[in-house]
Amino acid sequence: MNWSDMKFFDNGDALTEARGFFCSGVHCDVKGKRDGKLDLGIIYSKKPCSVAGVFTTNDVRAAPVRYCEALIKDEKFACHAIIANSGNANACTGRQGELDTKKMASEVARHFNIHSKEVLVCSTGRIGEPLPMSRITAGIRDAADDIIKEYDGAAAFQEAILTSDTCTKSCSVRIKASSGEITIGGVVKGAGMIEPNMATMLSFLTTDISASNHELQSILAIAVNQSFNRITIDGDMSTNDSVLMMANGNSGIELKNESKKFQDAFAHGVETICAALAKKCVSDGEKVTKFIKLKVDGAETEEGAQKVARCIANSLLVKTSWYGSDPNWGRIIDAAGYAKVGMDFAKVDLNYNEVPALKKGEPIVGNKSRWKEIVSGKNFTITLNLNQGKGTGEIWTNDLSEEYVNFNKSE
């Protein structure tokens, strides 16, 4: 399908590109370091928003995740604001963590004269420590004041949600409709503890289209599965991962009243945003130097293809060989084998970019110098064809350096 009616914009304010949304980001010293880092932000819409959300599949889910999940289960749920803090995950904090989550929502609601159940809450950071609620409360006051004064706080919000990230990550799309134009904006944070099935990652999307919770949820779930669930940095899955999407209808355009072509374009727009943000997460992974697209074709099932791709992408031996620019296909095959999908090595083809490394299990040794050149680059694709069926899978991942170990040996 031709997506000529859609324009993509990399970086920028993103969340406030969609009409009717306001953002802020402030320093409230969540970690008590007095370093001036922005660490609390709010997204706000005067009009109530329909909402969709996808959350971590970790059995241990943080208090804010459980709080948001409970609210979003109601298909009639409407939201005015999202409050997010970095520096403290409010995870594994027991009953107090639940009370603190509700307190954050009620404080935001008080400043905007809305109901506390119209506020979603997200946290990211260190696990197992209580929130410093006196400082959080003061930060909410300051962040709300900035929005009430209509300060341009989109960039500040992006900074406020970062943890080990080295940069902010955002993008937006605009799509022409029969009677105007709609915008979708998105931001993400996350550079570690990221593995398929939602990992420590927070992503927020805003749009000025009018759509039901059910419509948004269906579209977002597919988009997340095709993007955020295809990335892995270090194989760890967080307690706090959340992707939230708000739609306030400020464009005056209703999704259900538009053509099938436009509805498909809107879904594609959400997928485009999620895919771009997911790739930004991998590229900004903790102390990574390379971005790798890993494709598995010819599996008996799609589930099998994804399993093989994940085993390869999460192999420490594979990832360290990429860091060393070593085209070690043996490690790739070993990792694919322990996926236990019935792989027959005598049927396997393997390419670095378009250059064959294996053909029906036989090394193409004449290409060895070209493999090395490819793996020495910052971006490359590895394609493994099992030649056993029609199942395909794809993962976006990175290398693993000694700097990663040094960075994560203490917090």
SS3 31: coil
Helix (H) or strand (E) holding 384: strand 379-385
Please state the φ and ψ torsions of residue 152, each to the nearest 5 degrees.
-85, 95
Catalytic pick among 200, 206, 207, 232: 200
Q: Is residue 97 within 8 Å of 128, Cβ to Cβ?
A: no
Q: Provide DSSP, 133-171.
A: HHHHHHHHHHHHHHHHTT---HHHHHHHT-SS-SS-EEE
Based on the residue annotation, tell me whether 200 is a catalytic residue of this protein: yes
How far CA 90 is from CA of 39, 40, 59, 126, 230, in Å, comes to 14, 13, 15, 8, 26
Structure tokens at 156: 């500040």
Parallel, antiparallel, or unpaired: how do β-strands 180-189 and 202-207 relate? antiparallel
What span, in angstroms and rounded, lies between the C-alpha atoms of 29 and 55? Answer: 26
Please tell me the distance from the alpha carbon of residue 37 to that of residue 97, in angstroms, as a whole number.
23
Residue 311 three-state SS: helix
User: What angle in degrees, to the nearest 10, is found between the helix axes of 316-323 and 302-313?
Assistant: 60
Which residue numbers are catalytic? 200
